[in-house]
Amino acid sequence: MADEQGSTEEGEQVSGSDDDTPQGATGLLSALLSQLNLQRSQGAAETAEAVKEKPPQVLETLDIEGVAKYIEDGKAKNIVIMTGAGISTSAGIPDFRSPSSGLYDNLQKYNLPTPQSMFEIGFFMSNPEPFYTLARELYPGKFKPTPCHYFMQLLSKKGLLLRHFTQNIDTLDRMAGLPGHKIVEAHGSFHVSHCLGDCKREYSEQWMKDKIFEEQVEVVRCEDCGGLVKPDIVFFGEAMPDDFHPRVKEDLPKCDLAIIMGTSLVVQPFASLIDRVPRECPRLLINMEKSGQADPFMQMLGLGRGMDFDSEDNYRDVAWIGTCDDGCFELAKLLGWKDELDTLIKNGHGEFDAKKQEAAQASQTKDSTKETQAEKQEAGSQGSSAGSEDNSDKGHPPDIEETKKEE
């Protein structure tokens, strides 16, 4: 295909003409249609070839029991997990898209065109207050990781997890103990913030947290240039994080089991990851409904195979319908890991509660110290004022009229 400069041979032929007549436009359209037809033909041929050369079924049965047996037999050594918001709903994180959640209602005073507008970079630059209001609701540290997050940690401890690709910004996987190098945050997170102004200064998670909660600022601005400071969350209209594409290219060809949880698989380019694993790689979807299924039109164009749960040609795709937590518990039970998972959850939630209580006590102590200091300052100010009045009376000469009366 031609690039923007028309550097390819075909591009030079199309864009090199000075003909601005309808015939020239027709020629350009004809060339583009021919190219599209060629791609469609190639895609159809590849699809037909794929059906013809369908890999053998590697799972004994196309169900969660078959996936458990596959793992138990040691065939899954490089598991890749892909997740969406569904793995965090049981933690109590509100769904900002739902008018019934209360969060959407709280943001209506900002006249959002749609709930998603707060994640559009153009809207944020002109009206940043809604995002910071949302940040106070969703900021890491307010919610406990779910059983699903601890199941991923269990896979990592057993040396079976290659990578966790997530669309979530809540960092609950990190809180559950999953090492940072195992995580690819496709849509960014609150972990680091940057100035969007001229200086591009980096700020820590704690700095941003202090601004949002301690200082209660409506808009967070850079200390150097005054530009808006935003957590490194990928908004619509922004590029993916630097590590996303290299990890996709390096990790997915190695994947021998893909587990997809809590996502509708509609947001690109994340949704396309399911087609980047090897053709013989089994894929397990744990979700409240089937998602990511093959689009016949896209298949015809050779632009993605999608999931195939129900056709006779299915040889690797499994759908487990239910909550992500229940799906992980079921898989852990089938693998004989249920007690280990329960222990991880109990210990993890215990540590979370202890840290939260410690933070609350520290905050209470800090507030008490501030109040004491304020009271001392006020008392000192009053004492100074009273002393000043006394000194003023003692040093003032007697009134002239009073002196005359005494005489």
Query: What is the distance in angstroms between the CA of the first residue and the CA of the last residue of the chain?
Result: 115
Phi, psi of 221 (to 5 degrees): -120, 155
In angstroms, the CA 200 to CA 184 distance is 22
H helical segments located in 61-157: 64-72, 103-106, 121-126, 129-138, 147-157
Return the closest-CA partner of residue 50 out of 248, 236, 315, 259.
315
Q: 6's torsion region: left (phi>0), alpha (psi -120 to 50) or beta? A: left
Query: Which residues are identified as catalytic?
Result: 187
Determine the angle formed by the axes of helices 147-157 and 338-395, rounding to 10 degrees.
120
| Residues 321, 289 contacting (CB under 8 angstroms) | yes
In angstroms, the CA 356 to CA 282 distance is 40
Return the closest-CA partner of residue 300 out of 44, 15, 10.
44
Tell me which residue has tokens 């215990």. 350
Q: Is 307 helix (H, G, I), strand (E, B) or coil?
A: strand
In the β-sheet with 283-287, what is the strand arrangement from edge to edge? 183-185, 161-166, 79-83, 257-261, 283-287, 317-321
Determine how many CB atoms are found less than 10 A away from the CB of residue 87. 32
| Bond from prior residue into 115 cis (ω within 30 degrees of 0) | no
**Cα distances (Å, whole numbers) of residue 156 to 77, 78, 183, 254:** 11, 10, 11, 16
Alpha-carbon Rg for the chain in angstroms = 31
Q: Is 362 helix (H, G, I), strand (E, B) or coil?
A: helix
Q: Which two tokens stand for residue 359?
A: 């933070």
DSSP code of residue 236: B
Return the closest-CA partner of residue 222 out of 196, 191, 204, 189.
196
In angstroms, the CA 107 to CA 115 distance is 8
